Amino acid sequence: MSIVVLHGSTRDGGNTEQLAELVLKGIPHENILLRDKNILPIHDLRHDEGGFCPVEDDYDVVIQKVLEHDVLIFATPVYWYGMTGILKNFIDRWSQSLRDERYDFKGLIAQKKAYVIAVGGDQPRIKALPLIQQFKYTFDFVNLPFQGYIIGKASKPGDIVNDTRAAQEAQWLNQVLRNP
């Protein structure tokens, strides 16, 4: 079982990354830092005659990497009660993958499992619930089983260490990922 973490954070070593590290402690995995990739917003041409055009950026390479793994962990800070724009632009591009004839996106992604790690500052265990619901709808659309999520609370750098509940949940998820 191989694991990839898709990081939606915009800065190095922030609270979300720290919580992800706790979750993955001692478990081999690949990290993809979306902030270091060039991923353009989707240009919706679904309904144009030619369909989507190839886009010159890093999306193809990243999505191929993602699809090589069995477990997808989406790790995002909660920005304005949603995922970061960086991660959203990445997911928006799935609409293109769904129509890409070079690979069977829908067939492949349905064989994986998804987890979400989200860290926010403003009552995240309540106010990040719409974000969790959106992930659920999104994963359902591509038949990707949503296996669980962890919500952490942190604002200033390093704050996450004070969230004992998130720490305990990270431990739970660590166990689950070790013994799938």
Positions in the binding site for its own copies (CB under 8 A): 9-11, 14, 35, 41-45, 47, 77, 79-86, 88-92, 94-95, 122, 125-127, 129-134, 136-138, 141, 146, 148-149, 156-157, 164-165, 168-169, 171-172, 175
Taking the least distance from each CB to its own copies, the nearer of 107 and 157 is 157
CB of 114 to its own copies, least distance (A): 12
Q: For residue 129, what are the contacts with CB-CB under 8 A and spacing of at least 6?
A: none
CB atoms near residue 160 (< 10 Å):
23
**Encoded tokens for 156:** 């200033």
Q: Which residues pair with 31 in a beta bridge?
A: 5
Taking the least distance from each CB to its own copies, the nearer of 29 and 127 is 127
DSSP-based three-state secondary structure for 104: coil
CB of 117 to its own copies, least distance (A): 14
Please choose, from the candidates 144, 149, 178, the residue with its C-alpha nearest in 3D space to the C-alpha of residue 67: 144
CB of 47 to its own copies, least distance (A): 5
Using CA atoms, how far residue 24 sits from 102, 108, 178, in Å, is: 32, 24, 9
Is the distance from CB of 144 to CB of 113 less than 8 angstroms?
yes
CB of 66 to its own copies, least distance (A): 15
Is the distance from CB of 10 to CB of 84 less than 8 angstroms?
yes
CB of 4 to its own copies, least distance (A): 19
CB atoms near residue 20 (< 10 Å):
28
